[in-house]
Structure 1
Amino acid sequence: MLQIIGTLLIFLILIFPIGNYVYHITTGKKSFVDPLFDRIDNTLYKVLRIQTASMGWKTYALSLLLVNACLIFVGYLILRLQATSLLNPNGVGGMEEALSFNTIISFMTNTNLQHYAGESCLSYLSQMLVIIMMMFTSAASGYAACMAMIRGLLGKPMGNFYVDFIRIITRFLLPMSFFVGLFLVWQGVPQNLASNITVTTLEGKLQDIASGPIAALESIKHLGTNGGGFLGANSATPLENPTILTNLAELYSMMLLPASCVFVFGRMAYDKHQERKIKEGVLSISEAPVQKRVWLGKEGRTIFIAMSVLFVIGLGLCFYSESQGNSAVEAVGISQTAGNMEGKEVRFGVAQSSLFTTVTTSFTTGTVNNMHDTLTPLGGFVPMLHMMLNVVFGGAGVGLMNMLIYAILAVFICGLMIGRTPEYLGKKIEGKEMKLAALSIIIHPLLILAFSALAVSTQAGLEGISNPGYHGLSQILYEFASSAANNGSGFEGLADNTLFWNLACGVVMFLGRYMSIIIQLGIAGSLMQKTEVNETIGTLKTDTTSFAIILVVVVYIFAALTFLPSLALGPIAEFLTI
């Protein structure tokens, strides 16, 4: 427990300066990197002929979709034609059609679900021009959509997609990836373009040791909440994650950008509050800059508390379950004093494995430092549930977008209780917004449950199950929860590299990503056009701890109403039987 608490305390220290820096990137405020990056950004705008004027929500969404579509087309061609000798020292052949479709959709939607082993199925050209490139662009797309939604909710112009897209790459993702990559190389992660090394083991057998630009992929894999590994075993292998220091670096990397988005929201909401006070004459323009420094703001603090409560509850359950071991194993006389160590690295143990498992599925990264298929039933229940919730910080931007939809839903429910028209951030929530919010929320469980039903009712779906009974259903639920949440981790016992699973998961990843983003931008665009309403004594406060508790309760109630029956037939039933 001391390991976990110490790790999280360091994260809380790191997130304040990083969150403040991302806030400056988003709002265009001055920062120490401006003299360099202003030149880079302006050059890109000129070369690409980008008009930096603010966009409406439809233009913003269309720009995002078109950029992503072009990248999907180019990436698919590279995967299909990678058998060329260019940056292909291991002689990897072209990827077949269904797997190429699944892979390109997976990485463009920030899911990074892998139905292949990277060291044997991808050339270095594909690893760099498809996988690594899309790890930057998919993260930037999610971040940009989130910033546009925040601006719309606060009644401000929604900004320009291309500007948001470029600024987060040049000013955060690229430089941070460079420094994290250097750190990983220092700790022993390979970074080269050499072919795999064939060695003779002590048993006299031949074994291939992977090489390649592993450190470059590992850094952006975590910073962009991507998760796809250079190797099939992901961060459970020493080549990707050799020491406890690299494990911590990867943990912090995947937590920084999602948490920073909450800071940006809080600071921008605080700025709006200050502007309103100036407009009302409560505060003068000269007094505003000398107001007490605000790191997070009350609205951001409320969201951060709600997400943190959900995270801590899940982490506690996962750690407790894994530390207790597997009663079925103990029943046959095998002691588990160290907890459930099946599928875990000895150098990390139960504590760091449980923390990594909860973080990667809460921040929807998908990277793993242990095999989730070997978790105890309740230990596996936690990452599955967090992907089903999809609001426990979530991926780069999209987790906050989902939580803001729940905030709108919570305000609506509370408004019904007190007989008032619900308001959020000074805007009335009316029928149009509630219909869109309900649609946005229902898409996620619909994709997971409908496609899980399809899998268990078809022979092609059932053939992928490697474990009979309750755990087999858990494998299916986990796969589609991971796809719909754009997470990418999996219960790797599932035989998923088939036509059915490649196509089904590809469709779920695509719809889970873009349908939600379009609807959420539509809600923000609708609220942006509304006139602000004055706060009265009857207005529900959304910047309090009590509202954070309401948010947590609403999220859990919705999860229970939609997912509890399927979870009861999967991990919960498996837990009760052992």
Structure 2
Amino acid sequence: MNTELLGVIASYALTLIIAIFLGRYIAKTFAGEKTWMDFLAPLERFIYKICGINPKEEMNWKQHLKALLTINMLWFVYAFFLLIFQDKLPLNPDGNPGQTPDLAFNTAISFLVNCNLQHYSGESGLTYFTQLFVITFLQFVSAATGIAALIVVFKAFRDKTTTKLGNFWDFLVKTNTRILLPICVVIALILAFNGTPASYAGKDTIVTMQGDTVGVSRGPAAGMIAIKHLGTNGGGWFGANSIHPLENPNYLTNMTEVISQVIIPIAMIFAFGIFIRRRKFANIIFGVMTLGMLILLIPSIIQETGGNPAIAKMGVSQLTGAMEGKEVRFGPTATAYWSTVTTIISTGSVNGFHDSTMPLTGMMQLVAMMTNSFYGGCGVGILNYFIFIIIAVFISGLMVGRTPEFMGHKVEAREVKIAALVALLHPFLILAGTALSSFAIAHGWGANWAVQPGNWLNNPGYHGFSEMLYEYTSSAANNGSGFEGLGDNNIFWNVSTGFVLILSRYLPIIGPVAIAGLLAQKKYVPESAGTLKTDTATFGIMTFAVIVIIAALAFFPSLALGPIAEYFSLY
């Protein structure tokens, strides 16, 4: 236990050290300052030339969003058709079939929006071709899309009054060439040298200790696993994700993967402070987000190391009971840490089965995705938090009787309405989706509650409700993890979560970018004695209170019906 806890502390400490330096580098890169990666400029110029891009052409916020949405729509069409016809394409040594239209619809959207909700098993649901040219490709560009959108917000608050917010294509390309690709090479090398497959050979055959002959899937997995974590994507090359011994061979790779999925979300916070020259403000954001993480992490570690009382009643030791659903290579403490960071950010990868965690740990995972603003995904984490800042500024302004201001710009009705709509959209999609699925199952649209092939749920009662709630929460938070007692590969789940994925990705990007663009073009108001300071601990606490109140009011009833009720049923 003590050794495992030291491993968690070491993992977070290394994450923080790397993120501080990475944040400085990211700020310099997008500020146009010289960095050690400038040798890639010729490659970037070549990409701009063949694509007909003028990286010096300034865009306003509307042009940024038009470019972002247009290219994302094109990527969806490209991915959808490749997934349907993957059985007719090369690099398919295992002879895997093409996906059905509803599954391809869900998969293409899921990876496009940086969610990576997988309603298939990686080994049998995809070919090497689609793993590389659809899944890995989308994991790079979806992460870059989120970062590029955040850089627009950076630009909006750096200058006092402006409509010139840089070039989306320049941000997109540089994110890939100067941030994602170089770091992924390092991560992939660590994984490959520790046993993760990196070849194009088909299944291997082994004979187990029991004498059974088993086919073992492999493939060029190391590179894909690198970007799945660095880009806060989370989709596994193998169906078991990072529980699989080839995807996560040992404790070194476990630390590498858990560190890599958090460094960019934290680095973007520090980069924000450096870029807009308000480091104190960034430190307040980091403090609030870290507080939120610890509030979720500490109960999870206590619950997972304490074991399951239902198993203890069977005469099993506490340690054995705590290991249910965990990998012996990592243990319950490392699994609790992973399950927390993978849900507060939008990675969704797993090194232990979330469906097997204790009810209160499951609730912490749900709350992490329901708040969706503690560190968050690549770029979109701060965008989500920004919405709560605007609401906090508005409420604070009302309390002191002044027109709300943020970064020297008056926050008026239009900006507050956008923020309110985005804040309410998240719980609406989660709760409406859960209500719809509950109604569908109760009225026998597709299956009964009993355990039968093709069923929607394998668990009745409180946990079955939690599985449905988790599915839509994960979709709305662009997370992708799941309580996998859920039989999710059918038309209902594929289509319903697909639409939740679309709405939950693009509206929370459009809203903050629009607010930042609208504020940036307003006349700058110098600070005065009555100006509300947003770089203080008081304002940080105010923002945290707004997050907690909105989440509590929206989600407590559903949590009471699921994980809380399940917790009390164990005792």
Bin the TM-score by the shorter chain.
over 0.9
Percent of aligned positions that are identical: 44
Which residue number corresponds to residue 216 of structure 2?
209
Residue 342 of structure 2, aligned match among 351, 360, 364: 360
Which residue number corresponds to residue 41 of structure 2?
38
Which residue number corresponds to residue 28 of structure 1?
32
Are 2:115 and 1:133 aligned?
no
Cα pair 1:251 1:356 within 8 Å, conserved? yes
Residue 429 of structure 2, aligned match among 425, 447, 450: 447
Are 2:187 and 1:180 aligned?
yes
Are 2:228 and 1:246 aligned?
no
Partner SS state of residue 254, structure 1:
helix
Which residue number corresponds to residue 510 of structure 2?
518
Aligned equivalents of 2:555, 2:508: Cα separation in 1: 19
Give 1:368-379 correspondences, 5 Å limit.
368-379=350-361
Give 1:12-23 correspondences, 5 Å limit.
12-23=16-27
Partner SS state of residue 493, structure 1:
coil
Are 2:506 and 1:499 aligned?
no
Question: What is the CA distance between 1:92 and its match in structure 2?
Answer: 1.0
Aligned equivalents of 1:179, 1:153: Cα separation in 2: 33
1:24-66 Cα offsets, whole Å, 9 max, x none, are: 12211110111x1111111111111102211111111110111
Question: What is the CA distance between 1:429 and its match in structure 2?
Answer: 0.7
Are 2:313 and 1:309 aligned?
no
Question: What is the CA distance between 1:394 and its match in structure 2?
Answer: 0.6
Cα pair 2:230 2:261 within 8 Å, conserved? yes
Residue 321 of structure 1, aligned match among 296, 300, 303: 303
For these two proteins, the number of residue pairs brought into alignment is 552
Give 1:412-561 correspondences, 5 Å limit.
412-459=394-441, 460=445, 463-561=455-553
Which residue number corresponds to residue 170 of structure 1?
177
Partner SS state of residue 337, structure 1:
helix
Partner SS state of residue 199, structure 1:
strand
Please tell me the residue identity of whatever aligns with 2:255: L
Cα pair 1:339 1:350 within 8 Å, conserved? no
Give 1:18-167 correspondences, 5 Å limit.
18-34=22-38, 36-52=39-55, 53-84=57-88, 86-155=90-159, 156=162, 157-167=164-174
Which residue number corresponds to residue 196 of structure 2?
189
Question: What is the CA distance between 1:3 and its match in structure 2?
Answer: 2.6
Question: What is the CA distance between 1:162 and its match in structure 2?
Answer: 0.4
Question: What is the CA distance between 1:154 and its match in structure 2?
Answer: 4.0
1:283-334 Cα offsets, whole Å, 9 max, x none, are: xxxxxxxxxxxxxx11111111110100111111111111111112212322
Aligned equivalents of 2:229, 2:8: Cα separation in 1: 19
Aligned equivalents of 1:340, 1:537: Cα separation in 2: 56
Cα pair 2:383 2:508 within 8 Å, conserved? no
Partner SS state of residue 110, structure 1:
coil
Give 1:376-415 correspondences, 5 Å limit.
376-415=358-397
Aligned equivalents of 1:32, 1:312: Cα separation in 2: 35
Cα pair 2:344 2:368 within 8 Å, conserved? yes
Question: What is the CA distance between 1:338 and its match in structure 2?
Answer: 5.9
Please tell me the residue identity of whatever aligns with 2:465: L
Aligned equivalents of 2:36, 2:317: Cα separation in 1: 56
Cα pair 1:154 1:425 within 8 Å, conserved? no
Aligned equivalents of 1:435, 1:50: Cα separation in 2: 35
Partner SS state of residue 276, structure 2:
helix
Partner SS state of residue 232, structure 1:
coil
Please tell me the residue identity of whatever aligns with 2:407: L
Question: What is the CA distance between 1:339 and its match in structure 2?
Answer: 5.8
Question: What is the CA distance between 1:88 and its match in structure 2?
Answer: 0.8
Cα pair 1:322 1:339 within 8 Å, conserved? no
Aligned equivalents of 1:137, 1:339: Cα separation in 2: 41
Aligned equivalents of 1:570, 1:322: Cα separation in 2: 18
Aligned equivalents of 1:154, 1:554: Cα separation in 2: 26
Cα pair 1:85 1:91 within 8 Å, conserved? no
Larger deviation, residues 259-268 vs 135-144: 259-268
1:426-483 Cα offsets, whole Å, 9 max, x none, are: 1111101000000111111110000100000013476412111111111011110100
Question: What is the CA distance between 1:337 and its match in structure 2?
Answer: 3.4
Aligned equivalents of 2:542, 2:291: Cα separation in 1: 12
Which residue number corresponds to residue 317 of structure 2?
335
Query: What runs of 5+ residues in structure 2 fail to find an aligned partner?
Result: 450-454
Question: What is the CA distance between 1:205 and its match in structure 2?
Answer: 2.3
Partner SS state of residue 225, structure 1:
coil
Question: What is the CA distance between 1:521 and its match in structure 2?
Answer: 1.4
Cα pair 2:89 2:129 within 8 Å, conserved? no
Cα pair 1:145 1:397 within 8 Å, conserved? yes
Larger deviation, residues 240-249 vs 534-543: 534-543
Please tell me the residue identity of whatever aligns with 2:472: F
Cα pair 2:462 2:565 within 8 Å, conserved? yes
Aligned equivalents of 1:6, 1:523: Cα separation in 2: 38
Distance 1:154 1:23, change over 3 A: closer
Aligned equivalents of 1:493, 1:154: Cα separation in 2: 47
Cα pair 1:269 1:299 within 8 Å, conserved? no
1:118-147 Cα offsets, whole Å, 9 max, x none, are: 101111000000000000000000111111
Question: What is the CA distance between 1:408 and its match in structure 2?
Answer: 1.0
Which residue number corresponds to residue 574 of structure 1?
566
Please tell me the residue identity of whatever aligns with 2:569: T
Aligned equivalents of 2:275, 2:422: Cα separation in 1: 24
Question: What is the CA distance between 1:265 and its match in structure 2?
Answer: 1.2
Cα pair 2:157 2:276 within 8 Å, conserved? no
Aligned equivalents of 2:70, 2:429: Cα separation in 1: 24
Distance 1:321 1:557, change over 3 A: same
Which residue number corresponds to residue 259 of structure 1?
266
1:89-139 Cα offsets, whole Å, 9 max, x none, are: 111111111000000000000000000001011110000000000000000
Aligned equivalents of 1:25, 1:85: Cα separation in 2: 38
Cα pair 1:323 1:338 within 8 Å, conserved? no
Which residue number corresponds to residue 239 of structure 2?
232
Aligned equivalents of 1:352, 1:338: Cα separation in 2: 16
Which residue number corresponds to residue 278 of structure 1?
none
Larger deviation, residues 456-465 vs 321-330: 456-465
Please tell me the residue identity of whatever aligns with 2:224: L
Question: What is the CA distance between 1:150 and its match in structure 2?
Answer: 2.6
Query: What runs of 5+ residues in structure 1 fail to find an aligned partner?
Result: 274-296
Aligned equivalents of 1:539, 1:473: Cα separation in 2: 47
Larger deviation, residues 371-380 vs 416-425: 416-425
Larger deviation, residues 345-354 vs 454-463: 454-463
Residue 218 of structure 1, aligned match among 220, 225, 228: 225
Cα pair 1:412 1:429 within 8 Å, conserved? yes
Larger deviation, residues 150-159 vs 113-122: 150-159
Please tell me the residue identity of whatever aligns with 1:516: P
Partner SS state of residue 373, structure 2:
coil
Partner SS state of residue 214, structure 2:
strand
Question: What is the CA distance between 1:424 and its match in structure 2?
Answer: 1.1
Question: What is the CA distance between 1:539 and its match in structure 2?
Answer: 1.4
